[in-house]
Structure 1
Amino acid sequence: MAKAFASQGDMTEKKITFDEIGRDLWAFTAEGDPNSGVIIGDESVMIVEAQATPRLANKVIEKVREVTDKPISHVVLTHYHAVRVLGASAYGAEQIIMGEAARGMVMERGQEDWDSEFQRFPRLFEGHESIPGLTFPTTTFNDRMTVHLGNRRVDLMHLGRAHTAGDIVIHVPDENVMFTGDIVEDHSACYCGDGHFADWGNTLDAIKAYDVNSIAPGRGGALIGKEAVNRAIESTRDFVESTYAPAARVAAQGGTLKQAWDAVRAECDPKFADYAIYEHCLPFNVARAYDEARGITHPRIWTAERDLEMWAALQG
């Protein structure tokens, strides 16, 4: 019998931090657990990333209420993953916004992703019984959309594929601050199981071109100051490239998934083994890198059953 996923044994509660990364812009972070963002406008608040359950979303709301009593009018979801979206109902927002591609992924694989993530990372679904069902947006867009929170302009943009095909970023021009979702991480492994390795670097370049002052990344601490921003962008790039290149070499030689796993570990363990959720992400990252290198451009759907089959294969 294969051993359990590393994430199934991760039951330690993480310390929450709430950092102001620009005027009335906040990053809710939790030691490598999924982050959320808060954008306070003249009369209302926008939340970026909903958390996995309404109960966990209430932890974000508690922090919001420490800094403002304005109503929450918008929830923006950077992509479709269950740990990001299933808590959306807690906010009572007028609008739930996703990119159109992300909405399509909810339709295509949202339930399978929920089942898969719940099996492999149960701690992130605290209060799962309160989830009313899949989260669907009220509003979608393709390349770009602007929301005005009074005089505060918020630009939502699809800059390219990376963590998923439907990633968006949120830019607040008046403070030149960005919320990147899981395109950028800080001292946390990137989850690449639905990723697009060939595109990820170009999308990072598009983010870098904004030369932002701060970033709220998908996981890890708030990135305040351009030095921290650039460091995290480049460490994310290194993580993605270091995962893909060994798997691609094995695939080119007709090697097996297990051989790709060994090759990626040899490259990545010395650099990234202390990153948050590294062991959780690694098998899914290797499987996706191996697939992409063999020409499977559209990521295959992860199901609870496929997770276990893949994990058993990697145990040899």
Structure 2
Amino acid sequence: MPFEPLTHDPVVDPGQAREVARDVVVLPNLGAGLVPNIGFIGGEHSVLVVDTGLGPRNAEKVLAFAAEQARGRELYLTTTHFHPEHAFGAQVFADHATYLVNRAQAADLVHKGPSYLEMFRGLGAPVARNLEGVELVAPDVVYDKGYDLDLGGRVVRLEATGRAHSKGDQVVTVPDAGVLFTGDLIEAGQFSIFPWFPPYDTDVSGSRWIEVLARLAAAGPDIVVPGHGDVSGRRILTDVREYLELLRDETWKRRDSALPEETIAAEVEARMIGRHPEWEGRDWIAKGVGCFCAEHSGHEAASAGEAAEGPSA
């Protein structure tokens, strides 16, 4: 099993809602495992909900809070990626909101959703209880690379980043407020989550993830809402990118020395914990090492191919 069983109930708490910008509200996860930060972005005639919480029971609370925020405005729902605590409550919104995601995420829901549902049900009784009655629903609107959603006096940008934490990662930008919702591309106060579970799931790409974060940082948002952890400023985009770069470099340096992967993981984990002793989620470091070890092989192959072709004319 890729995760330790959870002993606490992963419950969304609407009572902790916080407005981070004008008509942009976040239900913070407050450090609770398998509870994401959930967003509500309002315009003159519509409200967009970002992520659902784990399962129907949490999603019902999110929907009730959204209806209260909307006060009669139309509701939309989007999810930052297909993982259960972010998307597996979408069924609750079926008769109340228009659900829209990028095409890669829609495919993830179809092809990987059922196996992730079974995997998460094995993470202890509290998680299984919250996943009772889950039905994986198809989105109402599917876009390819980007989608501008007009909420009335405010246009929100949904963007498919391409493969990074997952194939279907999506960020949500509120340009007039300088707010960026990143999903699990960013975690605050914890090591980046690498869903690296060969041979079952190897979609995560550390190298692409670094590229995505560099591009997001260049856009210069003022407020970053991570998938988990505290709402932060733009600096967190650079902090996480620098961590991923260090993880890559320390892994590849040892891979060049032909060390066994287990030795590489142990050495790199010690190095990363020494750099960030206060961060949670230490088990994810070894998963990241596994991902970068695999990408090192691909990098070597690509470099060898370029050398064989010689300089271009």
Q: Is the 8 A contact 2:163 2:169 kept in 1?
A: yes
Q: Which amino acid aligns with 2:186?
A: V
Hey, what's the Cα distance between the residues in 2 that align with 1:280 and 1:123?
21
The answer for unaligned runs of 5 or more in structure 2 is 196-202, 300-313
Deviation string, structure 1 residues 39-98 (Cα, Å, up to 9, x no partner) = 122233211112220111233335445644335621111212122111112234432111
- What does residue 45 of structure 1 align with? 47
Matched letter for residue 288 of structure 1:
C
SS in 1 for 2:213: helix
Question: For residue 265 of structure 1, what is the amino acid of its counterpart?
Answer: E
2:45–2:74 contact (8 Å) kept in structure 1: no
Q: How does 1:78-93 map to 2 (within 5 A)?
A: 78-92=80-94, 93=96
2:75 alignment counterpart: 73
Q: Which residue of 1 aligns with 2:17?
A: 18
Tell me, yes or no, if structure 1 residue 229 matches structure 2 residue 229.
no
Aligned residues: 287
Q: Which residue of 2 aligns with 1:210?
A: 219
Write the distance in 1 (CA, Å) between the matches of 2:11 and 2:88.
20
| Counterpart position of 1:262 | 266
For the Cα contact (< 8 Å) 1:79–1:99, is it kept in 2?
no
C-alpha distance 163-65 of structure 1, shift in aligned 2 (>3 A): same
Tell me, in whole angstroms, the C-alpha distance in 2 between the residues paired with 1:198 and 1:121: 33
Map of 1:247 onto structure 2: 251
Alignment of 1:103-252 (within 5 A): 103-120=106-123, 123-124=126-127, 126-132=129-135, 134-193=136-195, 194-223=203-232, 228-230=233-235, 232-252=236-256
Partner of 2:29: 30
> AA paired with 1:220?
G
Hey, what's the Cα distance between the residues in 2 that align with 1:281 and 1:31? 20
Q: CA deviation at 1:284?
A: 3.0
Structure 1 residues 115 and 284, CA gap change in structure 2 (3 angstroms):
farther
Give the AA of the match of 2:226: P
SS of the counterpart of 2:230?
A: coil
Normalising by structure 2, what TM-score? Answer: 0.81
> Structure 1 CA distance, aligned partners of 2:18 and 2:206?
31
In the alignment, is the contact (CA less than 8 A) between 1:52 and 1:84 conserved in 2?
A: yes
SS in structure 1 of the partner of residue 59 of structure 2:
helix
Contact 2:165 2:204 in 1 (8 A): yes
Assess if the C-alpha contact under 8 Å between 1:160 and 1:202 holds in 2.
Answer: no
Residue number in structure 2 paired with 1:8: 5
TM-score normalised by the chain length of structure 1:
0.80
For 2:263, give the aligned amino acid: Q
| 1:198-249, Cα deviation, whole Å (9 max, x unpaired) | 12222112211222221211111112xxxx221x112211332233333333
Distance 1:76 1:20 in 2: 19
Of 268, 274, 278, which residue of structure 1 is paired with 2:278? 274
Bigger relative contact order (CA 8 A; separation at least 6): 1
Which has the greater radius of gyration?
A: 2
One-letter amino acid matched to 2:246? S
User: For the Cα contact (< 8 Å) 2:12–2:27, is it kept in 1?
Assistant: no
SS at match of 2:115: helix
Q: Structure 2: which amino acid aligns with 1:293?
A: H
Q: Root-mean-square deviation (CA), in Å?
A: 2.7
